Every structure is written in structure tokens, then in C-alpha cells.
Amino acid sequence: MKASKSESTEGIKSPLNIVREVYDNLPFNRLLGLKVEFLEIDRAGFIFSMNNDLIGNTAHGILHGGVISSVLDTTGGLTATASAMERKQDLAKDEIAKWIARVGTIDLRVDYLRPGKGSQFHSIGTVMRTGRKVAVTRMELSNQENILIAVGTGTYIVG
């Protein structure tokens, strides 16, 4: 039986595209409105828009601190996953998805620099170090005017 076009291209997706697909489709990421903006081996980022469900201070209409922390954590996790992907190049798509499900946060530090005001937000994560078992990342969250709102560092289990 001949494979359909979507089935035949499924097997040739790059590992980073599989990572992107998994993170774009995580239910919590969809709840926050996160979309992968860019994804490379040593850096990654999300974009999302403000909506009423993300407001923590209704008087001032700013992002909830938990949303900020969650976005930074998710950005760090995506960045750590991408950085560890080099060692997983030979895995099949379903094996990559299972491995991604085992990536987890060991430690997270968030510094809130100013209120989360804006209509659109961007997060950026960069790799500080990736080992066989653990990756350390640095993350930033800015608004559409490139005003830095919060920074963080995260340690993730990747092996």
C-alpha cells in the first residue's frame, strides 16, 4: 500500500521540527497562547499575546507573575531540549516525543524586573551548558517594545 504524502514526509521531519511540534501542541502551552517563534540548537523563543485570562493585576492589566514564571520555565525547557537534541539525532519521531516527555525542570530562578505590561510578549532562551544528563539555560521575557520584563535561569534534566 502506498503511503500518503503526509505519512511519507512524516519520517523525514528534522528532530528540531519534531521538538517544535511537540511544544506547540502541549495543552498548557496552548492555554497560555505560546507559539514557538524560533528554534535552534543553542537558542529558542516563544511569542504570545496578552489576553484577559493572563492578567494578574486587574487594576493595571499586567501579566500574572505565575504566567511570567511559566513562560520562562517553558522557554528554558524548549531550549534545553533543543540543545540535547544533538545526541538524539538517530531516534524515530515517537522515540523523540517520549524522550521530550522525560525532560523536566530541576531548578528555576526568576527575577521580575518590571510589570508585565504589553500586548505581545517574546521569550528567548539560550544555552549556558548542556551535559549528558543536565542542561542549564538563561531566559528573558520582553514585550513588543523590547522592554525587558523578567529574566531567569533554569536547570533541566535531559538525559
For the chain, 159 residues long, give each residue's pLDDT as a single digit of tens: 444 433 334 444 688 998 999 999 999 999 999 999 999 999 999 999 999 999 999 999 999 999 999 999 999 999 999 999 878 878 888 888 889 999 999 999 999 999 999 999 999 999 999 999 999 999 999 999 999 999 999 999 998
Radius of gyration of the chain (CA): 16
8 in any annotated domain: no
140 in any annotated domain: yes
CATH number at residue 66: 3.10.129.10
148 in any annotated domain: yes
Domain count, the chain: 1
Q: Give the three-state DSSP class for 94.
A: helix
2 in any annotated domain: no
Q: Output the pTM of the full model.
A: 0.89
CB 156 within 8 A of CB 104: yes
7 in any annotated domain: no
CA distance 84 to 134: 9
pLDDT score for 125: 98
Single-letter residue type at 93? K
9 in any annotated domain: no
pLDDT score for 13: 65
3 in any annotated domain: no
CA distance 147 to 85: 31
For residue 42, count CB atoms less than 10 angstroms from its CB and return exposed for 0-12, middle for 13-18, buried for 19 or more: middle
157 beta partners? 104, 134
126 beta partners? 43, 138
Question: 66 is in which domain, residue-wise?
Answer: 14-157
1 in any annotated domain: no
130 beta partners? 135
